[in-house]
Structure 1
């Protein structure tokens, strides 16, 4: 990199000397303008050629830098040995404009071609890491190269948590929140890191972070899981069950963490029974949704699918709903009070409900192209209900 800066610096000094000194001395005639322009054009052509060779893999980053430095030195030598030629006067505007443009152009070339460390880091990320420690080290270097990247900080925080370094994770999550704003997922991750960094001691700061996250997104999974853990550790077992059931309702049927989460709910329920209390476990309606084979060529993978339960008698407003896409079908979901559209209208309070699955290309829940509906079923039915989307939505 030193050779590049030396060559670029010398080039800028020479250019400024040729452009500004004559102007400051009273606009004396400029010499060798045509030849200088030709030399600059040849220099730019050489830089472009070297860049093309680097992209093709012929040159590595170090060879690319050396080649650009050599081209800069050749340009200086050609300019210094130039013979007097055609002369004409330049106004002050042109030299001053070029004096500003040339440094900016040099900076642009460096930013585009000169970040060799970032190029090497990108090449490393193309190869899978051998260990978790290697992945963490790569992410640390990525953050050093791009300290203002909230995405890099987020993934580094996840790596620190996996490596049992919650205090370090809390620091990078705080930086990510400062850069990206108070997004619910970042707030939840930050709160979780702080909780484990302080030996599972709950604090007003953690309560404020999780409250803020759930206020923005009631289904923010990290906050729900953390609040369940804190409630269990505080022997508030019914609260733990409630939080974990809300989290369970968000997880796909094939998610590997469902078994561990259900185990936590069962342990909390056992604790309540051991203390003489009866746990309130709300399982919800289990629904499997499929798309009729005849419709597979008539829908798009990105089309929205709304799955909801509505009262068999009364208003048609959904009591609980989930949103997926056609690409996710077939899918198993659980509809529960955690999926309520309005807090005062709960699925558990309904007697019988109808299950509906609607494909909506516009993304509007009240209108779509295709639909599947069930016969009325009890809201506390334990058996999995099957829905097939097979009819036009009138």
Structure 2
């Protein structure tokens, strides 16, 4: 903050200079006026002395005129270049009073409308926190300074959860949802915090939050984990196993939480068997989709394209979101080429080829490198996403 206040002080000095310079100029003008008055007094004194000498007979009329003329020349020489005095309507006290009021008023306005707290927070966040408590205090000040920042609220809620403050976290996540909308991840975080804030007691409110989150995103991980915990606590071990298995499918292979999650599944399995139950077999996983596509350029277009033009090859659902499900990027120089499009090439985890029964293959040439618009395109007929036979795609039509 020191550099900020130094810069503000420098700007204030510049502003004050516009007020104080006229005051200093008026003082110099006053000195010049005083010197002119002194010269006039000396001239009058000289003339009076000459008149006395004339009356005493020391000077005749001609000498008297010559002496008076000499005194007048000296007066003119001393006062030459002195500007006429300017009369200020405001007077001298007004600029001085303004010079005092300007910094006071500026400081008051900044403290009321300014953002010194945000400047200080920016400086603080540029340095790593020394402890979790310090991080929490920073986030709390950030939320106070920016109450409409959903991002700041979200991180504060997550921090409260790590500090075992679920009641505070639930309130923060509720505010976040009100600001950012009812996004599945936020609903899951809110439900989880509310569950622990209520002493691990399930309620209709928590059920509604998890239902809404999973309806919008069936793979929302926080809701799946929470429903598994609630089912385990309620001795509904098969449901706990089912929820946690669904969660396991969403986690990366190297995710450290998989170990703890697998331990939970094992404990639920043991308790289910001990109570005389039998673990239901998990439904067979849907095989991953993989489409093999041979892409070539029509002969009549080879003279109309350039080797560096981008070629986008993608599959999209015939009935579903318009976004590509899987995509690859080549150049015209790479054609003809054979590529594979599969679940591993998904643009978004929830939009995999295997999740849609029917897709269409598209290959587009775009000189500007834009996947959504280009000059030439080739499209296939709709085909099943489970197709294993190699497909051929020819770029042969203007892109409209």
Equivalent in the alignment of 1:142? 142
Report whether the alignment pairs 1:75 with 2:75: no
Q: What are the within-5 Å matches in structure 2 for residues 205-354 of structure 1? A: 205-274=205-274, 275-282=276-283, 284-285=285-286, 287=288, 323=325
Cα–Cα, structure 1 residues 286 and 376, in superposed 2: closer, same or farther, change >3 Å? closer
Cα–Cα, structure 1 residues 375 and 183, in superposed 2: closer, same or farther, change >3 Å? closer
Instruction: Mark the structure with the bigger radius of gyration.
Output: 2
CA apart distance, 1:232:
1.2
Cα–Cα, structure 1 residues 228 and 116, in superposed 2: closer, same or farther, change >3 Å? same
Q: Match of 2:201, SS?
A: coil
Q: Distance in 1 between matches of 2:267 and 2:155?
A: 32
Q: State the number of aligned residues.
A: 280
CA apart distance, 1:368:
8.6
Cα–Cα, structure 1 residues 374 and 183, in superposed 2: closer, same or farther, change >3 Å? closer
Equivalent in the alignment of 2:174? 174
Residues 269 and 279 in structure 1, CA contact (< 8 A), matched pair in contact too: no
> Cα RMSD over matched residues?
5.2
CA apart distance, 1:355:
12
Cα–Cα, structure 1 residues 68 and 369, in superposed 2: closer, same or farther, change >3 Å? farther
Q: What are the within-5 Å matches in structure 2 for residues 35-54 of structure 1? A: none
CA apart distance, 1:124:
2.8
Residues 291 and 385 in structure 2, CA contact (< 8 A), matched pair in contact too: no
Equivalent in the alignment of 1:183? 183
Q: Match of 2:168, SS?
A: helix
Cα–Cα, structure 1 residues 258 and 368, in superposed 2: closer, same or farther, change >3 Å? farther
Q: Match of 2:209, SS?
A: helix
Q: Distance in 1 between matches of 2:386 and 2:343?
A: 21
Gaps of 5+ in 1: 2-58, 86-105, 309-315, 348-353, 378-386
Q: Distance in 2 between matches of 1:224 and 1:134?
A: 32
Q: Distance in 2 between matches of 1:369 and 1:135?
A: 53
The two structures have a TM-score, normalised by structure 2, of: 0.53
Cα–Cα, structure 1 residues 299 and 333, in superposed 2: closer, same or farther, change >3 Å? closer
CA apart distance, 1:284:
1.4
The two structures have a TM-score, normalised by structure 1, of: 0.54
